Amino acid sequence: MQRTRVIAGAAALAALAGAALWWLGPTAEPGAQGPGQGAWDAGAHGEAGAGPGAIAPGRVAQGSVLGPSPQGAPADSTDPLLVHGLRDTLEAMLLEAGDASDPSALKQRLAALVGRHFPPALAARALALAERYVDYRVALGRLDARAPQDLADPRALRDTMEARHKVRQQFFDGAEYDALFAREAELDRYTLARLEIARNASLTPDQRAQALQAADNELPPERRAERAASTEHMAAAAQTAAFNAQNASDLTRHQARSAQYGEAAAHALAQLDREEQHWQQRLDQYSQASARPGSDSAALAKLRQQLFTSDEQQRVDAALALRRLGSQPSGS
């Protein structure tokens, strides 16, 4: 849990990074869909907030996801609904709607929430798109349940990308597809190219280095800058995890961070350390209260409101579940 929150915080730290954790190293293995509770759970919640190794979807609504396409093609700027960030807004609505027993129940919750995220003039279209996005999530969950497990195999990754691309084509027209997924098109090709290069045993070290550089050069400048930034804040997160494991002092942390990242970033990371410690302390307090025999649900609800902000309350159950998972013996 600590590492997860530190990574999230470091991603927001302007001194260290300005982009999401999307990028793979030359030998990193793209992450498969996490285990869900059936097709609906996997589809509805498995794709938001993609982290390192996430499989980027395709851009072009016609043709192969792996075929050539214009880089950095924007969403339809003449349509006020189909703008950059649309997918983030839909995911935020899903998060706010919370768990639902079935897609129909979730769609009903979205109908009550759409006015909070879209202006009245766009609400009807936005809701219709959100409902199709829910259906797409269901289909995606079924697809991921059948997907091959070894996504470190370039051929398996290519097949998975193609299958995911086809699912998206079923639910969105070209302009919608671009608005939701265009930014990630180059990441598909980039991820696959690096994986194929890394797994090509016939390449000499020099040839591999040249091929990786060529793959980097195919990215637009802003994507290359994002990759450089993500490498830096991922290193900061790993460093923080090592500090935590060693119970390093505040002075030790500050000296190492200021030397590597600068004084301002060192102070910002120290603030993240304090926030993380406070978060863990509050989780401890709530978890202990929940574990007491005969604990009263109304009292627990009141304690939850006292300890956590409204945004934090949405993450408490997941945080405690991760704690329980982390405390299980290996192989359990």
What are the backbone dihedrals phi and psi of residue 111, each rounded to the nearest 5 degrees, phi first?
Answer: -60, -35
Q: Which residue has the tokens 């929430």?
A: 113
Q: Domain boundary at 140, 164, 199, which? A: 199
Same domain, residue pair 39 and 121: yes
Which own/partner contact pairs does 88-91 have at CB distance under 8 Å and 24+ positions apart? 89/117, 89/118, 90/129, 90/130, 90/133, 90/180, 91/47, 91/48, 91/49
Separation CA 141–CA 175 (nearest Å): 23
Separation CA 89–CA 208 (nearest Å): 39
CB 26 within 8 A of CB 197: yes
pLDDT at 329: 55
Same domain, residue pair 240 and 165: no
Same domain, residue pair 65 and 103: yes
Same domain, residue pair 194 and 51: yes
Residue 2 inside a domain? The answer is no
Q: What is the mean pLDDT of each run of 10 residues along the chain (332 residues)?
A: 36 31 34 33 39 29 40 59 91 86 91 94 96 92 68 79 88 92 76 88 93 86 75 82 91 91 89 91 92 86 89 81 67 47
Quick: pLDDT tens for 152-164. 678 888 888 888 8
Name, in order, each residue with C-beta under 8 angstroms of 86's C-beta and a sequence gap of 6 or more: 75, 179, 180
Same domain, residue pair 80 and 161: yes
Half-sphere exposure of 259 (CA within 13 A, CB side): 7
Same domain, residue pair 282 and 155: no
Name, in order, each residue with C-beta under 8 angstroms of 256's C-beta and a sequence gap of 6 or more: 239, 243
pLDDT at 150: 63
CB 157 within 8 A of CB 151: yes
Same domain, residue pair 195 and 230: no
Residue 187 inside a domain? The answer is yes
Same domain, residue pair 172 and 300: no
Please state the domain count of the chain.
2
What are the backbone dihedrals phi and psi of residue 229, each rounded to the nearest 5 degrees, phi first?
Answer: -65, -40
pLDDT at 147: 58
Same domain, residue pair 188 and 232: no
pLDDT at 101: 73
Residue 158 inside a domain? The answer is yes
Half-sphere exposure of 147 (CA within 13 A, CB side): 32
DSSP assignment of 280-291 equals HHHHHHHHHHHH
CB 314 within 8 A of CB 92: no
Same domain, residue pair 64 and 185: yes
17: exposed, middle or buried (C-beta count within 10 Å: 0-12, 13-18, 19+)? buried
Quick: pLDDT tens for 219-263. 878 777 777 776 777 788 888 989 988 999 999 999 999 988 889
Residue 20 inside a domain? The answer is no
Same domain, residue pair 318 and 244: yes
Residue 151 inside a domain? The answer is yes
Residue 245: both structure tokens together = 């494991």
pLDDT at 158: 83
CA distances from 16 to 167, 174, 211, 233, 243 (A): 36, 35, 27, 6, 18
pLDDT at 238: 86
CB 141 within 8 A of CB 46: yes
Residue 8 inside a domain? The answer is no
pLDDT at 144: 66
Same domain, residue pair 158 and 295: no
Task: Print the domain residue range for 110.
Answer: 33-199
